[in-house]
Amino acid sequence: MWKRNLTLMVIPHNRDQMRQVRASRPTVWGLGAALLFGCLALAVVFYALGYFVNRNQETEFLSLTSENSVLRKQVGRLQQKVEGLREDVNDLSKMDRMFRTWVNLAEPGDEVRKMGVGGYNAGAPEWEGRVTGDIGERLGRANTDVDQLLREARFLEASFEHIASILNQNEIARLHTPSILPVPPQSGCWISSGFGYRTNPFTGARQFHKGIDIAGRSGTKILATANGRVESVGKHKYLGWFISIDHGPDYNTLYAHLLKKPSLGVGQIVKRGQVVGRMGRSGRATAPHLHYAVTKRSGDKEYPLNPRKFIHDQKDRRQRLSRF
């Protein structure tokens, strides 16, 4: 029976001649086995290719995940540096405002400062369109912030150059303009009462305070805040022992509630930073402190100014401005 032939009959629908194909059983089984083997071989090849492709994709995915983690850390560091630069630029802007007050230069305003001068524009960054998602957004913000900082830095550069030119033109005015703390920087003093309206600690009435009160230890050195000439030395019912210094045609400073009568005499020349007295609580005072006032002349009249605007010598600004 094994050697019997198998007949395959092909019957067409258009009445053509019927065709027959005869094959022995071994031939049919051989063809079937060959077909099955071919299918198995194709399946093995297909799954092998799929395995290697998946393996390659997994390796690539792990590599990209690692790169993504590193990139996130780098972007985080970049943002921290940008934030640090923002603090530095803000500090420089505050310094610029004080220097402008110093030389009587108009304040341009925040909008002009933020607009800055020029700007960095090198076209779209290389990573734009290639880095997406959260990292892309953070990179975009950092790029915008850096451009903004560059604009503000260029404005500050131009502003400082302008201020320097004014100072160079008027060195005498600079030396005779109050510009430092009236106490040593590391004396541990602090402002206990500011400039402007306040409640009088003795009468309880609302009263305009024409200076600032700087509290500290009794005996703390009191410094002249600019070059000048001693205008008066004496004792007042409320101010106690005091000394007044004439700084030229524009400014006058007053140092009151001193520990004792200053040793300087009227008409004596003083230099910025020179000791002119010691902190005390003479006159009407609740505790040892210095009453420091700055006035500006206009004709025959004098107008009180906020002394804070004339304190420009802070070295560690973040720490000390919080106290002053």
Closest CA to 289 of 253, 257, 311: 257
Average pLDDT, the chain: 79
The CATH code of domain 190-321 reads: 2.70.70.10
Euclidean distance between CA atoms 316 and 310, whole angstroms: 17
- Give one word for 116, left, alpha or beta, with left for phi > 0 and alpha for psi -120 to 50: left
Report which of residues 124 and 170 the model is more confident about.
170
pLDDT in tens, 170-206: 777 778 889 899 999 888 898 888 888 877 776 677 8
Euclidean distance between CA atoms 1 and 22, whole angstroms: 15
3 state SS of 10 = strand
pLDDT of the residue at 45: 79
pLDDT band at 10 (very low <50, low <70, confident <90, very high): low
pLDDT band at 53 (very low <50, low <70, confident <90, very high): confident
Question: pTM higher than 0.85, yes or no?
Answer: no
Q: Which helix (H) or strand (E) holds 253?
A: strand 251-258
Radius of gyration of the chain (CA): 43
